Amino acid sequence: MNRHISAFAFVVVALAGVGCSDDDSSGNNPNPSADTGVQTDTGGTPGDVGADTATACLKDVPSTYESPDYTTNAAAELSLRDRLKAIMDPMKAAEGDLTKKPTAAELKDLYAAGTPSLESLTTAYYAGKTKAIFDAFALAAGNTWTPAATPTGNGGKFGAYLYDAYGKDLRQQVEKGAFGATFYNRAAALAADKAGLSEAAIDKLVALYGAHPSFPQATEGVPNPDIWVAQYAKRRDDKTQATPGLYRRIKTSLITAKAAIKAKCDAERDAALNAFLLDWEKVELATVIFYLNDAAKKIEAATTADQQSSAIHAIGESMAFIHGFRQHGAATRKITDAQIDELLGLIGAPADGNATVYQLVTDTATALPKFKTAVGQVTTKIAGIYGFTEADVASYKNSY
């Protein structure tokens, strides 16, 4: 799908009312004065956006997302969410109890379960990576692990998490990697299917993203809390600010796409879906900025194994958020494989090779200054790829 529409820009009119630390889960506004949350593209580099002008087709967009048949329309996608949780549950249990040791075969069976399965909707590249992680996780489960200057063995539990011998957080490679490699991959395919785009299809996108039609921008204390990527979009969007951040922009894009389909306004539909996918990608990479900067602070302050583990766990999440976008079709994402490989290399997590994260524990005095430099470089490079401003970057280092 070419999600970057050329020679077209628009503004949504009559749009009313849109105006802690990160942990495991259960952007730049090109026109800050426009409260649409929808980015448009006027050609050039994929993902570039142009000035807004009045649309000739879409005249009205609701301020809320209405879908009385959401659970029916998105049944398959809601099932996918449940099935990812079904994989996470035994992996989390193994982290909490060394007597619990799921086998690689059990995890792979869960991955292949259902029609469509998580495996079938994942990029072929990352599906292979995921199954290799299941092998590594099964070997690490039941063991304890102490980082060593010369890594050996199968890894195991260090602090609260399971790692391979090189300090790669294994469960995170499955969960956070799936956000890009599976759920985003499926969302991009749905958005590309112009013949099949319907209001019901937008419900599917809401579910894949991890939200609910109520869009609570909350992860607790509400009937349908945000999960998966929506949870991280919520954390990257300070809702006390009048200018919509990533969560509110995505909400508006999905509302707009649904309204455009109903009104048979194809250009506005496509532009809204492009904006949705680009902002989803931005959420994940903005979260990398959060985690890496948080990890550097945690390593510097760590005095216990639990604190060290918390830091390299954050790096493990960052690896997966980045890696999940590798080997997507070039037209369905902003970041390139070359940029992904560069970012992974800078944080000591090459796409094909062993991580060097363990060195932050075994030789902190040498590794930490290098890591801090790498974090600065990665932050700058991500900001350059997505056009994040200094204010954006400062905001993304916080959790809302």
25-45 residue pLDDT tens: 653 333 322 333 333 333 333
For residues 208 and 191, the answer to whether their CB atoms sit within 8 Å is no
Burial of 100-121, coded b for 16+ CB within 10 Å and e otherwise, reads ebbebeebbebbeebeebbbeb
Which pLDDT does position 380 carry in this prediction? 98
Q: What is the pLDDT of residues 124-155, one digit of tens each?
A: 999 999 999 999 999 999 999 999 999 999 99
Residues with Cβ within 8 Å of 100's Cβ and at least 6 positions away in sequence, in order, are 90, 93, 94, 141, 142
Q: Which two tokens stand for residue 312?
A: 């390299």
pLDDT at res. 157: 98
Per-residue confidence (pLDDT) for residue 56, from 0 to 100: 78
Q: pLDDT at position 22, please? A: 60
DSSP state of 195: G
The whole-angstrom separation of Cα 117 and Cα 109 is 10
Taking the C-alpha atoms of 393, 397, 398 and 400 in order, what is their torsion angle to the nearest 10 degrees? Answer: 60
Q: Amino acid identity of 237?
A: D
Residue 278: which of 2, 3, 89 has the closest Cα?
A: 3
What pLDDT does residue 265 have? 97
Copy the structure tokens of residue 248: 């509110």
Q: What's residue 129's pLDDT?
A: 98
10-residue block means of pLDDT along the chain (400 residues)? 36 33 47 32 33 64 95 98 98 98 98 97 98 98 97 97 98 98 98 95 98 97 97 97 97 98 97 98 98 98 97 98 95 96 97 96 98 98 98 98
pLDDT value at position 83?
98
Q: Which of helix, strand or coil describes residue 167?
A: coil
**46-58: b (≥16 Cβ within 10 Å) or e:** bbebbebeebeeb
The domain ranges of the chain are 1-59+69-284
Q: Give dist(CA 387, CA 167) in Å, integer.
A: 32
Q: What is the pLDDT of residues 184-226, one digit of tens each?
A: 999 999 999 999 999 999 999 999 999 999 999 999 999 999 9
How much is the pLDDT for 24?
57
